A and B are shown apart, each in its own frame.
Chain A
Amino acid sequence: MQLGTLALLLTQTANVLSQTALLFFLGVGLTLIFGIMRVVNFAHGTIYMLGAYIGYSLARVTGSFWVALIVAPIIVGAVGVAFEAGILRRLYGRDGSAFLMVTFGLALILGDVVQIGWGASALRVAVPDLLSGVVLLLGEPFPDYRLFLAGFGVVMAIAIWQVLERTRFGLLIRATSQNPEMARALGTDVQLIRSGVFGVGCGLAALGGVLASPLVTASLGMAASMIIDAFVIVIIGGMGSFVGSLIGAFLVAFVQVFGNFYLPELAIAFIYLIMLLVLIVRPGGLLGKED
């Protein structure tokens, strides 16, 4: 039986939402890091992959996906903080190309560390038992896990937004993002903010990696296939803009789900066309400011 139009539309919309959630975790980390440090983090895709692999091992050892979901981002966040403190910190004031090189270098190193540590084969991460079922959307089975992703994405987006808007840490982040000198003059420990944000950004990417692993397995190809999407999201939304990364993630997910369905011939070009159009109309991205 062919799918009813409504069932199809509903399924596809749910797909867009679950995919938006995954892309958002990647994009928001990248955009926060850029907003605070003006660093384009080329290692972001590799960090996401590292999260998936560490999550795999944690889930295996503890037998719980949920432990992996919480602990892996913390471990990867710590790696991020160490990298910021050990290397990036010496480079503030240098131009963007220095950051390009060190983050590119980090991507190469971590990519190889993963291959040495976990091997070249893709590794299976099972969907947690609690979410391995399906719900019926107008008669069509839809995985619980994807609904969870969409819901979790909404919860996390609200949480991050509230942290940025309501807490002192959020205030300091926004202040540092807008004017680091002023923030420093007002007594903010800018150094600490930078370490913190880099760690949080990496942790969020790792969270995305753990969440994606039951869909795509933990594999060495994860990094390359994700980094360019993350860039596009951040560029479309405006570098440094939280809401922008949310919109960017939605747009990319929308194009990937509906574009591939109705206009498969254009699918790979579509996302770049959108990016180009946005940049031509608004050079700083939808919600970014041009610098």
Chain B
Amino acid sequence: MKNLINKLSKVYELSDVVYQRPNFTYATTTKENTISLITQLRDLEGFSHFVLLSCVDWIEDNLFQLTYILNNPTQKYDIAIRCMIDRNEAAMTSAHYLWEQIATYQRELKEMYGIEFPGSPRLNENFILEGWDNIPPMRRDFDTKKYSEETFFPRERPSSNDPATYMKSRLHPDEWDGKIAE
């Protein structure tokens, strides 16, 4: 795997290389290089199987992190290519022409994070949410609790006890609290 990373490093700007397991490596490249890199991995390096595409919201950095995981079935190892994209105008080149099923992942990321993949088939159709009327729910600024309180039937929370207060009342029941008259 190290040879492959060295080879790719000469062409693409790779960073944050993590040899996670003997058969699994992470590497990060630029948004612009990502699709070229995975195309090369597919066509020249034997990574013929697409595993998944996922996203992490780094809201503090105003970035989304996309991760494309590819598998090389003959060598039996995986590579995960990551890139960071701007969170405000979130858009990425579609890769549906490399593997048809990527369109489905892109449709999911559009619905859950609001990321655009121009040209990706059926991108704007509902994925699992029907009639969604809020900001994409996997964005970290989406307030899950507020949404559920406003949307769903309330389920009352049983009352709880603070360990410190409860212990004091049990272990020191006679303790003078300055309020109870003798």
Q: Do A and B come from one complex?
A: no
